[in-house]
Homo-oligomer: A and B are copies of this chain.
Amino acid sequence: MTDKPQHLLLRALRGETVERPPVWMMRQAGRYLPEYMTLRAKYDFFTRVETPELACEITLQPIDIIGPDAAIIFSDILVIPQALGVKVLLEENKGPILPDTISTQADIDRLQVEGAAERLDYVCQAISMTKKALNGRVPLIGFAGAPFTILCYMVEGKGSKNFDKAKQFCFSQPHLAHALLQKITDATISYLRAQVAAGADCIQVFDSWSGMLAPADFDLYALPYLRQIADAISPLCPVILFPKGSWYALPQLAETSAAAVGVDWTISPKYARILTGSKLTVQGNFDPIKLLTTPAQIKKDVTKMINDFGPQRYIANLGHGILPHVPVDNAKAFVDAVKEYTV
């Protein structure tokens, strides 16, 4: 499974008894760190993503400053559309734009699955470089967007409140939706295999928009592709599935080959345990807005969260990405509170 079996995160993912839960923060690399802002002022987003030295440096920043139990490689979920041959534009402080949206069979036929993983070799280089620099301090998490979420961006062409156009595409032309989802899935599996080969100790799959789907539609457009990814990658390293908002799918996700499932704050820790039947490790689910209170309040709330989940088979994390205006001391209070927890 891994050459670092002693790491707290990997032990929690294997369901081993731990002395305290491991902790990391989603999108911990960047955003709220002044050290990141300095790099951001010098290099545009895709330069930071595509330059292994920069991605490595950004990945390491929170490890040195905040001290979580895992690093997550600095990258973006939209590298998959890029690798499939779709243009992605990104202006700072604005969402991504994909000017050539997918709407027809011809659009899907043009997507180049072959060679997609190779075109993302810069991510694997960043992983190798980071792995070396970490030198066993903490494990390194690789990641990708889930196929439904990537479809959302490829069809909608930009971020959206409800991804109406993407959902309409699925509901009106399900055969096209499935063809697109399968191509994304195939490229993603190759890409994640390469991340593991480069040194990723664990993989998280972000389904950021699956929560827009009704349970029956999640079963059609999200779950089968998450399952394909989990089945392909789990023999290589532990997989964390994080379909944000899709609390209703927890019983089914607990039956996949994934080692863990992420939950957001709109499900109580106790109910998340009930729905997963304690069959796998659960990760989450601190409301990111609560990082804007005080260090003392954060520590109190974190302790309650760990007690509610129970400290075993649990990874402390936020329920969604950290906000850019969180004070560094508050982010540190979150990590410290978990580290100070005693079973």
Per DSSP, chain A at the interface is: helix
A292 to B173, CA, bound (A): 11
Q: What is the CB-to-nearest-CB distance from A258 to chain B, in angstroms, rounded to a whole number? A: 21
A96 within 8 A of B: no
> Is A214 in the interface zone, CB < 8 Å from B?
yes
Q: How many angstroms between the C-alpha atoms of A108 and B212 in the bound complex?
A: 35
A26 contacts the other chain (Cβ, under 8 Å)? no
Contact B171 A292 (CB under 8 A): yes
Separation of A287 and B164 alpha carbons in the complex (Å): 10
Chain B residues lying within 8 Å of A213, measured Cβ to Cβ, are 266
Q: A86 to B247: give the CA distance in the assembly, Å.
A: 37
Number of interface residues of A (CB under 8 A): 30
Closest to A308 in B: B216
Pair A215/B268 contact, Cβ less than 8 Å:
yes
Contact among B161, B245, B292, B297 with A266 in the assembled complex (CB-CB below 8 Å): B245
Q: Which of B217, B267, B297 contacts A287 (CB 8 A)?
A: B217
Contact of A292 among B161, B168, B247, B289 (CB under 8 A): B168
Tell me whether A215 and B267 are in contact in the complex, defined as CB-CB below 8 angstroms, given that A164-B289, A168-B289, A292-B172 are known contacts.
yes
Q: Within the complex, what minimum Cβ distance (angstroms) separates A257 from chain B?
A: 24
Min CB gap A249→B, angstroms = 10
A341 contacts the other chain (CB 8 A): no
Assess whether A271 is interfacial by the CB under 8 Å rule.
yes
Quick one: CB contact mask for A209-230 with B, threshold 8 Å, 1 for yes? 0011111110000000000000
A179 CB–B CB distance under 8 Å: no
In the complex, whether A343 has a CB less than 8 A from a CB of chain B is no
Say whether B323 contacts A164, CB under 8 Å: yes
A248 at the interface (CB under 8 A from B): yes
A323 nearest in chain B by CB position = B164
Given A215-B266, A216-B268, A247-B247, output 17 extra A-B contacts at Cβ < 8 Å.
A162-B289, A164-B292, A164-B323, A167-B287, A168-B289, A171-B292, A171-B297, A172-B292, A172-B293, A211-B266, A214-B265, A214-B266, A214-B287, A215-B267, A215-B268, A217-B287, A248-B268
A-B contact list, 21 entries, CB within 8 Å: A161-B161, A162-B289, A164-B289, A167-B287, A168-B292, A171-B289, A171-B290, A172-B293, A213-B266, A214-B265, A214-B266, A214-B268, A214-B285, A215-B266, A215-B268, A215-B271, A217-B287, A245-B266, A248-B266, A248-B267, A248-B271
Residue positions of A touching B, CB distance < 8 A: 161-162, 164, 167-168, 171-172, 211-217, 245, 247-248, 265-268, 271, 285, 287, 289-290, 292-293, 297, 323
